[in-house]
Chain A
């Protein structure tokens, strides 16, 4: 069975139902709108480029067992299992990745959201403040007084 999705800029995608159902939002919508299948499902927060990427991800992971989203405190320790395909998939620039995180968040594609956040966390790991600033084009907007006070973190980053 096929489902049609419409991106915010009006592009229509047709995907298998079980692929679309990786998105919790769409899954719930399909339950509600069972009778009314002839309209595409509008995704107002997701552009066509991102939607295509999200669908690509869902197509690949269509047979994955669903992970129960328990707020597990130890989950931070477990590295996310990334197969080669995932690694290939995450080779995009970071702006694109942020857009994907947003799309995955608004469509509630949990594994992709986790993957994106993990990617973002990994790129700042073991970086100095200056490197992080360069990476994300962040302005150093501390006032001089604040600059003096934030000594504590400086000691830590030297460890």
Chain B
């Protein structure tokens, strides 16, 4: 993944976004306040609603993905952060607020437009998803992702107020509470915190915290470890002789499922560890020009010729899909190529500065 390209998307997507974002928020909030006719819309009651939810989830993942990439590539612009609001918009559009399907659909369309601003380079994929999603049936959706911590709910669940649930800790961000403070606590302190309120319960069950705790306290002598699916369980039952105890433990037999706790940070964390990237780069189908041919000596060889592309007919999208993602070599002819960022980035000096310590083996 080239930082250059990601930056391009980020900056392009945000150039007009701020304004839209504001407009659409007003719009959506308007619809959210609309008094409902039949009360809440239950998830799955309507195939159309199902599809909306799936679609929203996928696009949201896509947006988050690009946002992460932008952050990673140091192409952070303040406006990119504003894309966080897309999440809020989605939540407004999809929670059971009593608005009608039509209103939700309108909200979602606005929201998709926003997603497109960031992901305009991904439009071909977006269309593919739409086709895929429209053929998706309910059964398939139901076996979907399972419980997403911090994902809140699309049901009409009681939604906790973050402020009252965190008390004076509310001034801190979720990331600061978890990564800054909770990682410094002992298991017992974490349990105390988990009993105070719903938000703190979810926070102090966080896997990152328990992983740190486990790794800090593990005894190097005990070689045999069993990973129990979460770090909390692994912390409690690290070795094989705990198998029985683990199976009968209340955490396994009666898992607590706290609904209605919203946290952008936790959601982000969950997506980072669970997202399948296959969505974003559909594996390219091999071109038909690669049939096995009989080479010298009767052994099978493949056509190893490197394709020659004309610069004029090459846009970034084609380049990435056809060559960069599959990792295929290509030759590019005609001038104009000098304007590509790679022309500066791929000099020996620049590479040396970047990967000075990497040993490269020439075959």
**Chain B residues within 8 Å of A157, by CB:** 188, 191-192, 195
**Chain B residues within 8 Å of A109, by CB:** none
* Neighbour of B168 across the interface among A98, A129, A142, CB < 8 A: A98
**Also in contact, A121 and B185, with CB within 8 A (given A73-B216, A149-B256):** yes
Stretch at the interface among B14-22, B158-166, B317-325: B158-166
Report the minimal beta-carbon distance from B198 to chain A, rounded to whole angstroms.
5
A154 to B251, CA, bound (A): 12
Q: Does B254 contact A (CB under 8 A)?
A: yes
Q: Does A139 contact B (CB under 8 A)?
A: yes
**Chain B residues within 8 Å of A127, by CB:** 189, 192
Contact present for B164 and A73 (CB under 8 Å): no
**Chain A residues within 8 Å of B258, by CB:** 146
A139 to B162, CA, bound (A): 10
Contact present for B164 and A139 (CB under 8 Å): yes
**Also in contact, A77 and B216, with CB within 8 A (given A129-B196, A150-B195, A157-B195):** yes
Report the minimal beta-carbon distance from B74 to chain A, rounded to whole angstroms.
11
Could you say which of A95, A132, A153 has the most chain B C-beta atoms within 10 Å of its C-beta? A153
Contact present for A143 and B158 (CB under 8 Å): yes
**Chain B residues within 8 Å of A135, by CB:** 167
Contact present for B195 and A129 (CB under 8 Å): yes
User: What are 7 pairs between A and B in contact, CB < 8 Å?
Assistant: A73-B215, A76-B184, A102-B176, A138-B164, A138-B165, A139-B164, A152-B250
Cβ proximity bits A140-151 to B, threshold 8 Å, 1 near / 0 not: 111100100111
Cβ proximity bits B258-301 to A, threshold 8 Å, 1 near / 0 not: 10000000000000000000000000000000000000000000
Specify the main secondary structure of chain A where it touches its partner.
helix
Specify the main secondary structure of chain B where it touches its partner.
helix
Contact present for A153 and B200 (CB under 8 Å): no
A138 to B194, CA, bound (A): 12
**Also in contact, A154 and B165, with CB within 8 A (given A102-B172, A121-B181):** no
**Chain A residues within 8 Å of B200, by CB:** 138
The 9 closest A-B pairs by CB, nearest first: A136-B167, A138-B167, A121-B184, A129-B195, A117-B180, A153-B191, A139-B164, A156-B191, A137-B167
A136 to B199, CA, bound (A): 13
Q: Does A105 contact B (CB under 8 A)?
A: yes
**Chain A residues within 8 Å of B187, by CB:** 156
* Neighbour of A95 across the interface among B168, B181, B183, B192, CB < 8 A: B168
**Chain A residues within 8 Å of B195, by CB:** 129, 150, 153-154, 157
Residue of A nearest to B165 (CB): A141
**Also in contact, A73 and B176, with CB within 8 A (given A98-B168, A141-B198, A153-B195):** no
**Also in contact, A149 and B191, with CB within 8 A (given A138-B167, A141-B164):** no
Could you say which of A99, A117, A128, A154 has the most chain B C-beta atoms within 10 Å of its C-beta? A117
**Chain A residues within 8 Å of B183, by CB:** 76
Contact present for B254 and A149 (CB under 8 Å): yes
Q: Does A60 contact B (CB under 8 A)?
A: no
Which of B's residues lie within 8 Å of A, judged by CB? 158, 160-161, 164-169, 171-173, 176, 180-189, 191-198, 200-201, 212, 215-216, 249-251, 254, 256, 258
**Also in contact, A98 and B249, with CB within 8 A (given A127-B192, A153-B194):** no
Residue of B nearest to A126 (CB): B189
Q: Does A17 contact B (CB under 8 A)?
A: no
A99 to B200, CA, bound (A): 19
Contact present for B216 and A139 (CB under 8 Å): no
Q: Does A74 contact B (CB under 8 A)?
A: yes
Cβ proximity bits A96-131 to B, threshold 8 Å, 1 near / 0 not: 001101100100000001001110110011111100
Contact present for B181 and A117 (CB under 8 Å): yes
* Neighbour of B180 across the interface among A101, A136, A151, A156, CB < 8 A: A101
Contact present for A76 and B181 (CB under 8 Å): no
**Also in contact, A140 and B197, with CB within 8 A (given A98-B168, A101-B176, A146-B256):** yes
Residue of B nearest to A147 (CB): B195
Contact present for B197 and A138 (CB under 8 Å): yes
Report the minimal beta-carbon distance from B51 to chain A, rounded to whole angstroms.
31
* Neighbour of A159 across the interface among B173, B184, B188, B256, CB < 8 A: B188
* Neighbour of A113 across the interface among B158, B180, B192, B250, CB < 8 A: B180
Contact present for B165 and A133 (CB under 8 Å): no
